[in-house]
Amino acid sequence: MKNLIIPENYSSPLTLRETQSAVKYIKDTFQKKLIAGLNLDRITAPLIVFSDSGINDDLNGVERKVSFSMKEIDGTAEVVQSLAKWKRMALHRYGYQNGEGIYTDMNALRRDDDVDNTHSIFVDQWDWERVLTREDRNTDFLKKTVETIAHAVVDTFYEVKAKYPKIQGDFNRDVFFITSQELEDMYPDMTSKERENAITKEHGTVFISQIGSVLKSGKKHDGRAPDYDDWSLNGDLFFWHNALNASLEISSMGIRVDAQSLMKQLEICDATERTKFEYHKMILNDELPLTIGGGIGQSRLCMLMLDKAHIGEVQVSLWPADMVEKCREGNIILL
C-alpha cells in the first residue's frame, strides 16, 4: 500500500464496458503491428515447466515460484515467471533462421511481486524472440528493434484515439536512448525509479540500456537474471503516463547471452552451478541460435493507452482488501 498512487480527481475516460472493448481492440491492433515489424509467427507456449529443467525465469534469483506435485507425472511443476529461456529453445527446436522469430501470449504468476498501480501477481505479456547473426549483436541493431516496437505502440495509440474519441494525450514517436550509467551520472542523488521518471518526463519515450551490472555507485539500476539478457545489450522501454504522472515501463528486452557473456554473468552472480542445465550447456556449446527478445506488457500497454490509474482497471487479478477500498474511494474501479 505504501506505493499506491491515487490521482487527485481521477476519472476513467471510458466506462467498464467500453474499457473491455478497448482492451481487446488494443491487443488485436498492436499484435498485428508487432508481427509485421519484427517478422514473427505466433506459437503456443507453456504455463508450467518442470522445476529442475532450468527453463523458468529466475528474475532476481530470490522470488518464490508457484510449484506443485502432479498425480500421474513424476517431479515438481512450476508456473512460469516468464519465457525468456524457453523461447530460445523453441527457435532452435522449430528450425527458425536469421531474421525470423516467434511471439506468444505469456501468462505468468509472480507471487512475490509488490502489488501497486502497475504491478500485479498475474503477469500477461507478449513474449517474443527472433534469430540474429553474430554481426547483429550490437547496440545499433538493438536500437533499431526498440524503435520498431516503440513505433508500433504509438501507431496503435492513434488508432485507439480514433476509435475512442474520449481518449486524450499524445506519445513521442522518437525514442531517447541512454545507458543506466549515463542516467546515474546525470542524476546521482536520485533512486533508479526517480531517474526513470525524470528522464521520461523530459523526453516522453525513453530506452534505458545496460541493465544488470553494478554501477559506479555500487548499486544496480535494476536486477536481471544472468542467463538470458547480455547486460551490455539490453534495456527497458518507458513511456510517460499522464494518469500517474510517472514513467511506465512497457517492455524489457535485449540481445541474449552468447557463451562468453553467459559464463561471465554467471560468475558475477556466483551461479555457475546452472551450467548443469541443458539450456546453459547448449549456449556454452554454441548449439542454440543467437537471438534478441523480450516481453511487452499487455495490461500495462492497455492502461497506458486508456490513461488508467491502476493495472487492475484493465486486468482481473487479486488485490489486498485495503487497496481495493482505497481505490474505490479514489474512483478507481478494479475489474
Query: Any bridge partners for residue 251, and if so which?
Result: 237, 296
Nearest alpha carbon to residue 207 among 245, 244, 237: 237
Check: CB of residue 176 under 8 Å from CB of residue 205.
yes
Q: Active site residue: 57, 78, 127, 147, which one?
A: 57
Please enumerate in sequence order all residues whose Cβ is within 8 A of that of 69, keeping only pairs 6 or more positions apart, or say none.
76, 77
If you write DSSP's letter for every residue of 138-171 in order, what string do you get? SHHHHHHHHHHHHHHHHHHHHHHHHH-TT-----
Cell of 27: 491487443
110 among known catalytic residues:
yes
Nearest alpha carbon to residue 294 among 56, 156, 88, 64: 88
Q: Active site residue: 252, 261, 265, 299, which one?
A: 252
Q: Active site residue: 136, 147, 249, 307, which one?
A: 249
174 among known catalytic residues:
no
Establish how many alpha carbons lie within 13 A of residue 135's alpha carbon, considering only the half-sphere containing its beta carbon. Answer: 2
218 Ramachandran zone, left/alpha/beta (phi>0; psi -120 to 50): left
Q: Active site residue: 12, 81, 125, 299, which one?
A: 125
Helix-helix angle 298-305:16-38, to 10 degrees: 120
57 among known catalytic residues:
yes
Q: How buried is residue 257: exposed, middle or buried, by Cβ count under 10 Å (0-12/13-18/19+)?
A: buried
Q: Active site residue: 110, 137, 224, 300, which one?
A: 110
Q: Active site residue: 58, 196, 229, 236, which one?
A: 236
Active site residues: 57, 110, 125, 236, 249, 252
